[in-house]
Structure 1
Amino acid sequence: MPWYYKNPILHADYADPDLIRSGADFWMVSSSFNHLPGIPLLHSRDLVHWTLVNHVVPRLPSENYDRVQPGKGIWAPSLRYHAGRYWVFFSIPDEGIYVCHTANPLGSWSEPHCLKQVAGWIDPCPFWDDDGRAWLIHAFAWSRSGIKNKLQLIEMAPDASRLLDQGKIIFDGTPSHPTLEGPKLYKRHNEYWIFAPAGGVKRGWQTVLRSRHLHGPWLSRDVLHQGESPVNGPHQGGWVELENGESWFLHFQDKGLYGRILHLQPMHWQQDGWPLIGEPLDETGKGQPVLNHRAPDLPCYPQEMQTSDAFLSGQPGKQWQWQANPRSDWLLPGSPGLRLRCAPLADKEGTLALYATPQLLLQKFPAVRFSVTTVITPDFQQSGDEAGLVIYGERYAALILCQQQGRLLVGLRHGWINDRGGLTEQLLLIDDVSGCAVAELACDIGYDGIGHFRYRRASHGDWQPVTPPFSAGAGKWVGAKTGIYAASGHNHSAGHARFTHFIVSSK
């Protein structure tokens, strides 16, 4: 029996997705920027329902990422299966192009191997041709390379150990395709195809290039625009073909503070050989996104993305990421619950601030409207120790328990990065809860990211609302996140906090 789905299929920030089919399994990766572990790996059996099963990169191969680097880190990975192994290529735009591989995507991946140490080469995608030769295509970041709107092709060793030449620009989109990037290279019916987004994240479109020869000449057609739909900037993703010949295209939509959420579009190959993505928009072959559609001709395998966490093993689940390369001493042994050490707050511009604090443990916003609740048992040792529930972006706020001069207080720490890049942060003290052994903190996120914090002693009694409300904001290239942390205003503290659970309830 046919079944139907609604877009977005995943209302969470999985930017720059790429996917493959391996037998009956579908695998997807996405950008992770400075959040670690990096490159989330998602799995599906029906292309509609996904779950997070692994991360490719436990930590970034540079000490630069031992501190918070908003917007940097891993950009636009690509995923392929070749010669019995899964391959992920990615760029760290200030460092170079890297590759990891594995025979088992659910196990450990190889350490990142640097194919090219260079700034500004981004969005790499490998391609193994029928003659055994291997290639790499990539785009450029103007901010690092001084080059933009161009795609470069380089021959690569078949084992992906090294690049074999200096590369050649095979397409220049400067006059017609501004911000051309994110290329994905395929072969179909003895023709080469490049799927590449253009026009920018918020208002862009999906372009497809076509050629009989890898080095061109390449013909181009814009195949997916917003059209009359509410889905702005539908582009940057991957094409996958089912065993029955059906084609589908997965892409993102930039939704501001919610990040880059995922949509699935039907894709049809037309009589002229070009693909049509979504539903027809006009006579030129352009498509526009569908909001409801018949699902892929596959059995439905319902599953949900991980959000809530009981921390039963004393470890965070796969949905959690740190803000920088993790340190082993951020987590203390012991369960049930999660014990976080009061590691130092970061010093940014002479101010101790959450924004640059690496040990924030965060996960993506899961829906337009939702609530989060956590229970904290503090074991603070000195003034300046604190722990709390945080909503994080370039505008951020945290409802906290903190110790000051022998008293246990509830406070609201909030801040923002202004248009000049400067940091402003304030701490408002709300209530004295001295003698409280356990406290429950919560936040209700409504439309447009308006959040209302509340708290109560232990898990009973009346909830106390916190004013003022908080307006969440996106981070650097990422959506807003929510999570927990423990910290101290001192370089050394023996304090910690135990988080019994973290409950997420979508509305």
Structure 2
Amino acid sequence: MRLLGDIYEMMTFTNKTSRSIFVLLLWVAALQSQAQSKVWNPDNNDGTYSNPIIHADYSDPDICRVGDDFYMTASSFNAVPGLPILHSRDLVNWTLINHALPANQDSHFDTPQHGNGVWAPSIRYHEELFYIYWGDPDRGIFMVQTDDPRSEWSAPVLVKKAYGNIDACPLWDDDGRMYLIHAFAHSRAGVKSLLQVVELTPDGTQILDKGTVVFDGHQDHPTIEGPKFYKRNGYYYIFAPGGGVPTGWQIILRSKNIYGPYEDKIVLAQGNTDINGPHQGGWVELDNGESWFIHFQDKGPYGRVPHLQPVTWKKGWPMMGINPNKEGVGEPVLNYSNPKTNYGNDQWTPQDSDEFDLPTLGLQWQWNANPRPQYASLTTRPGHLQLTSQPLSTGTQNLWMSPNILTQKIPAMDFLTTIKLDVAHLAEGEETGLMIFGMDYSGIVVRRTNGGLQVVQSICTDAPKNTTPSYEDSKDIKASTLWLSVQVKNGKASYAYSIDGEAFDPIGSEQTMREGKWIGAKIALYASKSNPKGLPGYADIDWIRLSAIE
């Protein structure tokens, strides 16, 4: 289980290059060992796929195609690292390969900024460079770039300083000029349901004008936002969602002039399906003429999960899904034939389980805010994630505003998560645990009191209101090596523990999961202390494994 970590510890490296190469090999080995999730697989192994293609909270997805490769990014809000980069060769099987934003540059994000940060990014490839643009509702529109999406991205460039400008997407026109379209957040700008185009400098780093509103959706498409900008066969196209997140529809706007006027047409809506609000995403076209659209579905505590829809062009309009009504509005597919790409369907999924064998965190992990080195270590005890206990943020009663919460996305409707941990070095007044974390959260907690170790269920309702958690069903224990588990099923979480890894005893009551601020609930690990003074203790987590419910 810890072979890779043990080898890393024992080896002597003659220079930084050899160390870097070995770390890369370790990363590849770890990635290969968990290439296929045990809890979700969209590929049906018969030439078809099932939606969602990723049952995890990759909100506001956008994609681009470069040759035979497809790349996706998504909103990351306050989570760090941000701007996930996913890769696929067939549009069905995706794996996480990088983050374009290792940390938020502003120290404001050293404390959790729930619901703020990175909103609705777009990813594009132009003249051998990858670009990502996004709106930060409190700061403006930013851009990063790279020549290799698996490698380091540039530092963010503030392209447009503005309050309430969101959901940015660039377009390079045939004459070499560059433009950007964006929406507005009413909570900051005081207006919404408007789309605006601004011209950029050729390098895409600065605006050249104050912008022109090209579409007003107040009458027919309220809350139009999340625009994606394309040009095809002489038409400018804007793909945008309208009608709100949970129940809206997908709109296509088109015009022969970049500034309009734009015709509008609804091309995808829920119809008679169970896929609510099928909208906001990115379009790609293959060499064989096939077109595909990736959008999200809001599933409450599970987050906004990506779906893949077929697209057929009819009379210059991209018609989406199947079973169009008399107005031509399609319904989203649940099952469909795989795209005919140049590669077979190698089955990959975003990472979830982790043996903690590498000296750096796996790509599936994100912090609640910009992390500090003292929060965690993977090298102090190789083969383990060591979480050092941190005090609650000043003036808080619960973990909502704690930056040291380590999270990953909920990866399926139903699954079991188990961790093995060593709590021998927890100090009195400290606790560690496994949670399902959202605006309501619950968890199974190990804490040390003056009477010894206890296992207990923690429950916190309305955490953003700084409510105090309750602790229920306390069990005294003597063992310092424990197994903790949470079973997620139909939006409910139930907890259990074991002292031998075989027999698990339930603890507490079943809890209803609740989403976070604009994001789904998350699997979370933490270690905290009640007294900010004194040297902290720590917990060593051996592994975390996600499995199907038997």
Q: TM-score range by the shorter chain?
A: over 0.9
Q: What residue in structure 1 maps to residue 391 of structure 2? A: 344
CA contact (8 A) 2:529 2:536 kept: no
Partners of 1:406 and 1:315 in 2: how far apart? 36
Structure 1 residue 486 corresponds to structure 2 residue 532? no
Q: Which amino acid aligns with 1:277?
A: M
Q: What residue in structure 2 maps to residue 100 of structure 1? A: 144
Partners of 2:442 and 2:56 in 1: how far apart? 20
Q: What residue in structure 1 maps to residue 169 of structure 2? A: 125
CA contact (8 A) 2:431 2:447 kept: yes
Q: What residue in structure 1 maps to residue 292 of structure 2? A: 248
Q: How does 1:311-326 map to 2 (within 5 A)?
A: 311-326=356-371
- Once the 2 structures are TM-superposed, how far is the Cα of residue 225 of structure 1 from its aligned partner? 0.7
Structure 1 residue 368 corresponds to structure 2 residue 368? no
Q: What residue in structure 2 maps to residue 81 of structure 1? A: 125
Cα deviations across residues 279-320 of structure 1 (Å, max 9, x unaligned)? Answer: 132121211101111111122221122110000024321001
Q: RMSD of the alignment, in Å?
A: 1.5
Query: 1:468 is matched with which residue: 491, 494, 509?
Result: 509
Bigger shift: 19-28 or 406-415?
406-415
CA contact (8 A) 1:2 1:297 kept: no
Number of residues of Structure 1 aligned to a counterpart in Structure 2: 500
CA contact (8 A) 2:397 2:466 kept: no
Q: Which amino acid aligns with 1:344?
A: P
Partners of 1:483 and 1:327 in 2: how far apart? 17
Q: Which amino acid aligns with 1:203?
A: T
Bigger shift: 202-211 or 380-389?
380-389
Change (3 A) 1:228 1:415: same
Q: What residue in structure 2 maps to residue 388 of structure 1? A: 433
- Once the 2 structures are TM-superposed, how far is the Cα of residue 379 of structure 1 from its aligned partner? 4.0
Partners of 1:304 and 1:477 in 2: how far apart? 23
Q: Which amino acid aligns with 2:328?
A: G
Q: What residue in structure 2 maps to residue 284 of structure 1? A: 327
Structure 1 residue 194 corresponds to structure 2 residue 224? no
Structure 1 residue 446 corresponds to structure 2 residue 489? yes
- Once the 2 structures are TM-superposed, how far is the Cα of residue 424 of structure 1 from its aligned partner? 4.0
Q: Which amino acid aligns with 2:391?
A: P
CA contact (8 A) 1:277 1:288 kept: yes
Q: Which amino acid aligns with 2:548?
A: S
- Once the 2 structures are TM-superposed, how far is the Cα of residue 61 of structure 1 from its aligned partner? 1.9
Partners of 2:396 and 2:368 in 1: how far apart? 18
Q: What residue in structure 2 maps to residue 497 of structure 1? A: 539
Q: What residue in structure 1 maps to residue 33 of structure 2? A: none
- Once the 2 structures are TM-superposed, how far is the Cα of residue 9 of structure 1 from its aligned partner? 1.2
Q: What residue in structure 1 maps to residue 497 of structure 2? A: 455
- Once the 2 structures are TM-superposed, how far is the Cα of residue 363 of structure 1 from its aligned partner? 0.6
Partners of 1:302 and 1:369 in 2: how far apart? 20
Q: What residue in structure 2 maps to residue 355 of structure 1? A: 400
Q: What residue in structure 1 maps to residue 81 of structure 2? A: 37
SS at match of 2:423: strand
Partners of 1:168 and 1:433 in 2: how far apart? 66
Q: Which amino acid aligns with 2:518?
A: W
- Once the 2 structures are TM-superposed, how far is the Cα of residue 428 of structure 1 from its aligned partner? 2.8
Cα deviations across residues 50-71 of structure 1 (Å, max 9, x unaligned)? Answer: 1111001011121111111111
- Once the 2 structures are TM-superposed, how far is the Cα of residue 138 of structure 1 from its aligned partner? 0.1
Q: What residue in structure 1 maps to residue 472 of structure 2? A: 428
Q: Which amino acid aligns with 1:395?
A: D
SS at match of 1:474: coil
Bigger shift: 477-486 or 11-20?
477-486
SS at match of 2:108: helix
- Once the 2 structures are TM-superposed, how far is the Cα of residue 458 of structure 1 from its aligned partner? 4.0
Structure 1 residue 275 corresponds to structure 2 residue 318? yes
- Once the 2 structures are TM-superposed, how far is the Cα of residue 38 of structure 1 from its aligned partner? 0.3
Structure 1 residue 437 corresponds to structure 2 residue 486? no
Partners of 1:456 and 1:194 in 2: how far apart? 54
Consecutive unaligned residues of structure 1, counting only runs of 5 or more, are none
Partners of 1:441 and 1:202 in 2: how far apart? 34
Question: TM-score normalized by structure 1?
Answer: 0.96
Partners of 1:218 and 1:463 in 2: how far apart? 61
Identity %: 43
Cα deviations across residues 125-177 of structure 1 (Å, max 9, x unaligned)? Answer: 01111111001100000000001000000000111121111111111111111
Q: What residue in structure 2 maps to residue 148 of structure 1? A: 192
Bigger shift: 301-310 or 195-204?
301-310
CA contact (8 A) 2:54 2:349 kept: no
Partners of 1:363 and 1:282 in 2: how far apart? 39
Partners of 2:116 and 2:429 in 1: how far apart? 30
Partners of 1:104 and 1:379 in 2: how far apart? 44
Q: What residue in structure 1 maps to residue 41 of structure 2? A: none
